[in-house]
Structure 1
Amino acid sequence: MTNPTLDHDSSILIVGAGTWGCSTALHLARRGYREVRVLDPFVVPSPIAAGNDVNKIMEHKEFKENYQDAKAIAVATFSRAALKGWKTDPVFTPYFHETGFILAASDPGLIAYLKKEEIDPMQADFQNLQTPSEFRSTMLSGVLTGEFPGWRGWVSYKDAGWIHARKGIISAATEAQRLGVNFITGSPQGHVIELVYQDGDVKGAKTADGKLHLADHTILAAGAGSDQLLDFEKQLRPTAWTISHIKLTPEEARRYRNLPVLYNPGMGFFIEPDEDKHELKICDEHPGYCNFVADWQRPGEERSKPFAKEQIPLEAEARARRFLQDTMPHLADRPLSFARICWDADTVDRRFLIDRHPDYTSLVVAVGGSGNGAMQMPSIGGFIVDALEGKLQDEVRDVIRWRPQLAINRDWYATQNRHGGRHEVMNLQDIKDDEWTCFQ
């Protein structure tokens, strides 16, 4: 099939107003497309969008010249473009905090793995951290008070830190609207319940109010909810992680400003306090939670279906507190002020899925953030528009293509090289009602 005509007067519909949807809308408007609509069941920022968060890690991976891994090169291409956007695009620059990044582990096997796979191939100017005092010296006195038992790590202060993801999404959507993009949000008017098929192609979407939103081109960027609208042939697995906050005093928040991100992929991570609410975000690390229910597309099979919840399993809270015991024991018993499960969609190889659908030539899929989607916010929309225009660069096209052949025998419980927790993918169906956090 030949691709449908595309010009600046073509009507383009984006399903999803999360990180990638808003970025795509912005890039379409900047390239001169005049008929762009965005549908989402929630007003920006959506409470279920993975990027609706006070902060996310931003880390650029630039590999050494002799490194030949195609997937790693694609990762570097994406993160390089994102970093440039965070540093130079006025829509996003206020929300990037280049505070540095600490990568560490306490398990000997994981320490060796990180050195071989993450540190040795990279060009980053890492400094070794071998002792508790060396870890504590990376931050102001009194912040890191733990003993760091068995910890080894590396710190880099260049091209890494954190982003205020929620404010970034709002900024992108605001600028896209200023440039003429039409956002239709809220339920039922923005709630897409199905794609519209005509003449063997996707011609838009139907919303819960019964309205058909027809378009020359449709871009599906609904994050973890995307596979409720299209059969991805097992390429997507909605997976959830657990976020918790603790409240700091205004004085503590001032003292904890501009801290490097501390990330132990076997235990957890924290990022400096939110400047508005003075809340410190701590996440425990694990291979993820899924919510396995009956698959409406394949009778007899199960799939993970996302849902919103501003609570986390008690076991996740306990893991977060164990992480604090190692690093900041003076905060380990402080009550949580907020928590939620945060959904993303894992591809089978944890690489993005951005491509024109092979059977529906008017449809572009832009999904599969796989835990790394939010930091791509300034630039990912440009790659998605490149896919729409057929201009994706060679070093990324093959890596992010439609690839169901990789998922034919997919193991839904595969940890996908993630660590921590019970070292297994967990099922939220197994969490009883009284095994969730509860806030007054």
Structure 2
Amino acid sequence: MTTPSLNHSSSILIVGAGTWGCSTALHLVRRGYTDVTILDPYPVPSPIAAGNDVNKIMEHKELKGPDSDARSIAFATCTRAALDGWKNDPVFKPYFHETGFIVSGNTPEIVQHIKEEDIDTSQGDFIALETADDFRKTMPPGVLTGDFPGWKGWFSHKGAGWIHARKAMVSAYTEAKRLGANFITGTPHGNVVALVYGKGDVIGARTADGVIHRADRTILAAGAGSDRLLDFKKQLRPTAWTLSHIQMTAEECQLYRNLPVLFNVAKGFFMEPDEDEHQLKICDEHPGYCNFIRDPHSPDELKSIPFARKQIPLEAEARAREFLRDTMPHLAERPFVFARICWDADTPDRAFLIDRHPNHPSLLVAVGGSGNGAMQMPTIGGFIVDALEGELVNELKDVVRWRPDLAVNRDWKSTQNRFGGPNRMMDFQDVKEDGWTQIGELSK
């Protein structure tokens, strides 16, 4: 099959206006592409986009010596570029808070794992935290009042902190639109129901209103929803995590300003309250939830199907409160005012998937954030456009390739080296209807 040559007047269609879709649109129009259309069933910021969040962790990982594996080199390449973008790109710079980052564990085994995987004191500015008092001293008096039972960790001041993901995504969208990108959002006009094929290639996408949007190149960047539009040969597993918010007073927000991110890889994490709603976000940590159902096309196969819900399982609430009792017991019983589940898509090795489809050369897939996608926002779109142009750097090319060979006999229940909760993958199908929080519902 013959693929039309790519030039700045080529029509390019992006399916998905989330974190990666908005970033890709921005980089395309910045490079001079003049016919860029983005489709999404929701206005930006989408309520189901993982990046529609008040804050996400930004952590730059340095390589641990010359023997680092290819995946680590690729991830370091991405985060190094992203950090530069957060610090210097005017579209993103206002939304990066370089407050520092604490990574920790609460068992000897997990602490050793962190030390082996993440900590290189010869390269970073890591300060060891050995006692509860060490943890408390990283923040103003009155913030960390817990006993930190069994906790040990490391505090890094530079190149890490948090990003206001929602505002950054809206900023990217606004700038891309100003530069000429055409966003078609909302149902039915932006809701892609199928990719459209012609002569063995992808020639665009069809939306719920029956319109076929033709394009010279199509980029599938619909996050956890991508799996419903294309057979990924088991390379994607839609996986969800749980988050909740606590209402803070204006006085408390002043005390909690500019705090480093506190992350326990088996317990959870928190960041400073957002400046608009004065809410403190708490995430419990666990390997993730799936929503397994029988695949209607392959009844012997399970398939994780994403759904939106602004509640979390009661077991997730209990884990979040346990994290608070360890760290900030004075907040442990305060009511949650908001909660939701947050979806991403795991690849078999948790490396990104950015490549032309082997059978459809006009289709580029840009998926598989694997829990690390939002912090790449300033520059991931540039790498995606590089792949579209056939110019992706060697440090990434082999790692992010189309690789169903790694998904043969995939274990859908694999924790993929994540910790916390029951230390196993969980299934929303096992959560009964009365097993969910009812935040805001009882007062209606």
TM-score (norm 1): 0.99
Q: Which residue of 2 aligns with 1:297?
A: 297
Decide whether the 8 Å contact of 1:61 with 1:122 is kept in 2: no
- How many residues were matched structurally? 440
Map 1:103-142 to 2 at 5 A: 103-120=103-120, 123-142=123-142
Superposed CA deviations along residues 15-68 of structure 1, whole A, max 9, x for unmatched, are 000000000000000000000000000000000000000000000011144233
Map 1:259-408 to 2 at 5 A: 259-408=259-408
Superposed CA deviations along residues 217-265 of structure 1, whole A, max 9, x for unmatched, are 0000000000100000000000000000000001001110100000001
Q: Which residue of 2 aligns with 1:5?
A: 5
Aligned partners of 2:198 and 2:331: how far apart in 1?
Answer: 57
Superposed CA deviations along residues 146-193 of structure 1, whole A, max 9, x for unmatched, are 011111110011000000000000000000000000000000000000
Map 1:2-401 to 2 at 5 A: 3-120=3-120, 123-401=123-401
Q: Structure 2: which amino acid aligns with 1:25? A: A
Aligned partners of 1:2 and 1:25: how far apart in 2?
Answer: 25
Decide whether the 8 Å contact of 1:43 with 1:186 is kept in 2: yes
Superposed CA deviations along residues 305-363 of structure 1, whole A, max 9, x for unmatched, are 00000000000000000000000000000000100000000000000000000000000
Aligned partners of 1:314 and 1:64: how far apart in 2?
Answer: 39
Aligned partners of 1:134 and 1:181: how far apart in 2?
Answer: 49
TM-score (norm 2): 0.98
- SS of equivalent to 1:301: strand
Aligned partners of 1:237 and 1:4: how far apart in 2?
Answer: 32
Q: Structure 1: which amino acid aligns with 2:373? A: G
- SS of equivalent to 1:177: helix
Shift of 1:120: 3.2
Decide whether the 8 Å contact of 2:339 with 2:439 is kept in 1: no
- SS of equivalent to 2:300: coil
Shift of 1:301: 1.2
Aligned partners of 1:335 and 1:104: how far apart in 2?
Answer: 26
Aligned partners of 1:325 and 1:2: how far apart in 2?
Answer: 61
Q: 1:187 to 1:8 in 2, by over 3 A?
A: same
Shift of 1:295: 1.2
Aligned partners of 2:123 and 2:75: how far apart in 1?
Answer: 14
Q: Structure 2: which amino acid aligns with 1:167? A: K
Aligned partners of 2:382 and 2:217: how far apart in 1?
Answer: 16
Aligned partners of 1:7 and 1:123: how far apart in 2?
Answer: 42
Q: Structure 2: which amino acid aligns with 1:257? A: R
- SS of equivalent to 1:300: strand
- SS of equivalent to 1:153: strand
How many percent identity over aligned positions? Answer: 69
- SS of equivalent to 1:161: strand
Aligned partners of 2:298 and 2:24: how far apart in 1?
Answer: 31
Q: Structure 2: which amino acid aligns with 1:428? A: F
Shift of 1:298: 2.1
Q: Structure 2: which amino acid aligns with 1:351? A: A
Gaps of 5+ in 2: none
Superposed CA deviations along residues 284-316 of structure 1, whole A, max 9, x for unmatched, are 000000000121332321100000000000000
